[in-house]
Structure 1
Amino acid sequence: MSDKPETKPSARLSAVTLDDASIGHAGSPDIEHERATAIWDLIEDNSFLPCNDPGEGPYQLFISLADNRLVLDIKRESGDQVVQHHLSLTPFRKVVKDYFLICESYYNAIRTASPSQIEAIDMGRRGLHNEGSTLLQERLNGKVVVDFDTARRLFTLICALHWKG
């Protein structure tokens, strides 16, 4: 589940797109910047291998929401379909909600709190991010092999689908 498929250098993502209709546009430059940064970080360093794929990557990933499900549409660089996975968002609901609450506390604390208070809140924020990443790896088990760092970056993008401003 967390093994990095290092034996295949093509076991990676070369492009990631978030569905505009799923995310909407809050108009906030900060939120748009966070989304763009998360995608750039994911493309720069990832390990991504659809299970039972006889072909070769790298892969393109289109992420959207449909009927309260996370849709991961995986294609080859040529555009040929590899697989499409639909994951229930229900298991993510609590961790995403808690993550947003602690992020809000963190951004508020930056303005007024002491460095030790900010650090404590940030540790909680990172802990929740790790929890969401582990949950994502579990939900992808048997579907897509990703290492923990890739799961962290993908969890960031799942959260990005919920950033409505």
Structure 2
Amino acid sequence: MSKRGGYRLSDVVLDESIGRSTPDVEHERAVAIFDLIEENTFEPVGHPGGPYRLKLSLLDSKLVFVITTESGGEVATHILSLTPFRRIVKDYFMICESYYQAIRSATPSQIEAIDMGRRGIHNEGSQTLMDRLSGKIVFDFDTARRLFTLVCVLYWRG
């Protein structure tokens, strides 16, 4: 676990208004949160150190990051337009649907090909998230991947 100066997330909460979704989406959410808390680098620019709590929510088609210290002290709130993510998320959902269908009936080589495409789109979304938060929050690519999964879960109402 990255503990560089306490610049890490110790808790991630998804807004309660999001509700439950399909088993596949719920599984993706749980795994992403678990993996994110287990290993991450998360440094709000200009803050002396965490660990931090992150609450993600949607407000008027915008993604809201509310960052606090473990004791609840306010650190920062960042609001991002989801417009730059629309095409990526749409493509990601389409390929995830193909992937979930494939794992039930396709050959291993077909599943692998679809999964490579899925990972490529996921990487594109992760990089977009890093770019959009540049100068606000510093995090590594693995943390960005896990955060992008959560962005998709927020976007995907099932």
TM-score, shorter chain, exceeding 0.5: yes
State the TM-score, normalized to the length of structure 1.
0.90
In structure 2, the CA distance between the partners of 1:77 and 1:66, relative to structure 1 (3 Å rule), is same
In structure 2, the CA distance between the partners of 1:157 and 1:7, relative to structure 1 (3 Å rule), is closer
Q: 1:46 aligns with which of 40, 45, 53?
A: 40
Question: What do the CA deviations read for 1:24-77 (whole angstroms, capped 9, x no partner)?
Answer: 223x44432321221111000000000111x32000000000011100000001
Say which SS state the counterpart of residue 6 (structure 2) adopts: coil
2:9 equivalent to 1:13? yes
User: How far did residue 8 of structure 1 move?
Assistant: 2.8
Task: Report which structure shows greater RCO (CA 8 Å, sep ≥6).
Answer: 1
Partner amino acid, structure 2, of 1:44: E
- Match runs of 1:85-100 below 5 Å: 85-100=78-93
- Match runs of 1:58-69 below 5 Å: 58-69=51-62
Q: Is the 8 A contact 2:28 2:149 kept in 1?
A: no
2:122 equivalent to 1:129? yes
Structure 1 or 2: larger helix share?
2
- Matched residue count: 157
Q: Sequence identity of aligned pairs in percent?
A: 64
Instruction: Say what the alpha-carbon RMSD is for the aligned residues.
Output: 1.4
Note the residue ranges of structure 2 that are not aligned, 5 or more in a row.
none
**Alpha-carbon distance between aligned partners in 2 of 1:35 and 1:142, rounded to the nearest angstrom:** 26
Question: What do the CA deviations read for 1:2-30 (whole angstroms, capped 9, x no partner)?
Answer: xxxx7833000000000011x2223x444
State the TM-score, normalized to the length of structure 2.
0.94
Q: 1:57 aligns with which of 40, 50, 56?
A: 50
